[in-house]
Amino acid sequence: MKNIKIKIAFVIAVILVISFFLSGKNEIVPLGSEQLKNPDIEGESQVKIIAEDNKNKGEKDKYLTDPVPEGKPKPVEWQDVVINKEKELTITLSVTCKTIFDNLDKFNKDKLEVLPEDGVIYPAQEVVCYEGESVFDVLLREMLKNKIHMEFVMVPMYNSHYVEGINNIYEFDCGELSGWMYRVNGWFPNYGASRYQLKDGDVVEWIYTCDLGRDIEGQDATFGGEE
């Protein structure tokens, strides 16, 4: 009887170990973590394998990005870019959350005090950026400059930062399909904000959606500035 119990315990232990390895999650690493400098080899290999499979199918790139529509700018990896601060560019930037007013019944009541009356967190205005900078770079600088709260994380699998909250308004604060998206020149890019390199004259909008982009005509784009 004792031997049977030992065998049963051993089988259960094996099952648990197998389950552990099969249920691994993709880790979202905060900005500044040492893991960004030294990504784990196993995770990197998995991404490469998936990317290679997709490449053979002609679908996604190494960061799992769907093909960019014809005529639209392709993603640029921020690690390969050298910022040229001697060449200034001028773009227009805005941050709004007007869609919340159409969904107040879903909105986190504890956040009403941080919700602007007109839904405008950062009114559209021209800002200076530098050649090589990304949509994320400019958003971060302007939010810091204007003392507007912002929280984000880096997602290595997509090689881009993910914007969780602006002005203390976070993803899921207005329902399970809510969060931040970005639009450039009327187009919602299908890749992260860290990979969108700006050009002179670009119009950048960060918009809060309450329905995974469907309420702002961005249902096929990225969420939080990331795939």
Q: Which of 78, 70, 75, 87 is nearest to 200 (CA)?
A: 87
How far is residue 25's CA from residue 43's CA, in Å, rounded to a whole number? 10
Residues 74-99 pLDDT 10s: 999 999 999 999 999 999 999 999 99
Nearest to 187 by CA among 148, 213, 159: 213
- Judged by DSSP in three states, 98 sits in helix
Q: Which residue, 43, 42, 41, is CA-closest to 27?
A: 43
Domains for the chain: give ranges and CATH numbers: 78-221 (2.170.130.30)
pTM, whole model, 2 decimals?
0.73
Query: What pLDDT digit, counting tens, does each position of 114-170 carry?
Result: 999 999 999 999 999 999 999 999 999 999 999 999 999 999 999 999 999 999 999
